[in-house]
């Protein structure tokens, strides 16, 4: 009895493989491959849905570089709310990139990078600028060397 069940198993597997191959083969050999579908499914809607809303926040990304354009990893970038003076800081990665997300459209911000003792210029992000993805490159230049005080020598009067 066990031998009879074992003999049916390979026969069943062979039959199953034949059934799965036949429909795939029937699809691949369509006699009219260029025919159009029987049902037209396009409803002429635009790609954007009617429920798309204007974004409620923006994102500020960028890169911190030195005067030669090389990225500065480990620089601290600070985003400051100009009304409340609340600060949010991040450190750049090795490639000098930084990212701030969920930034309000209704607040003015200042953006500045610091690296060691040096700092970039401050960049203002206005609440009137409706750009969703703001990109700012922050350049840190070495501090201008203080000019040594000039001592004027007056010619002696004789």
Map out the domains of the chain as residue ranges: 57-140
Distance CA 18, CA 65 (A): 64
Count the Cβ atoms, other than its own, within 10 Å of residue 66.
16
pLDDT per residue of the chain (158 residues) written in tens, 0 to 9: 555 555 555 666 655 565 555 554 445 566 666 665 555 555 566 555 556 677 888 999 999 999 999 999 999 999 999 999 999 999 999 999 999 999 999 999 999 999 999 999 999 999 999 899 999 999 998 866 434 444 444 555 55
Q: Tell me: the pLDDT tens digits for 44-81?
A: 665 555 566 778 889 999 999 999 999 999 999 999 99
Would you state the structure tokens that stand for residue 68, as one six-digit string? Answer: 């030669």
The pTM for the full model equals 0.57
The reply to whether CATH 2.60.40.1120 applies to domain 57-140 is yes
Distance CA 79, CA 81 (A): 7
Element (H, E) at 136: strand 133-140
Task: Report the 3 state secondary structure along 35-69.
Answer: CCCCCCCCCCCCCCCCCCCCCCEEEEEEEEEECCC
Distance CA 29, CA 145 (A): 79
């Amino acid at each position: 009895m066990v031998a009879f069940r074992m003999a049916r198993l390979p026969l069943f597997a062979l039959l199953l493989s034949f059934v799965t191959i036949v429909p795939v083969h029937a699809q691949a050999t369509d006699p009219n491959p260029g025919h159009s579908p029987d049902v037209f499914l396009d409803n002429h809607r635009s790609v954007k849905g009617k429920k798309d809303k204007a974004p409620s926040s923006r994102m500020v990304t960028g890169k911190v570089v030195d005067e030669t354009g090389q990225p500065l990893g480990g620089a601290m970038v600070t985003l400051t709310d100009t009304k409340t003076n609340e600060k949010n800081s991040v450190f750049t990665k090795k490639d000098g990139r930084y990212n701030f997300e969920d930034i309000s459209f209704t607040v003015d911000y200042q953006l500045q990078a610091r690296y060691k003792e040096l700092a970039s210029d401050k960049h203002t992000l206005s609440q009137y600028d409706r750009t969703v993805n703001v990109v700012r490159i922050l350049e840190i230049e070495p501090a201008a060397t203080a000019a040594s005080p000039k001592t004027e020598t007056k010619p002696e009067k004789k």
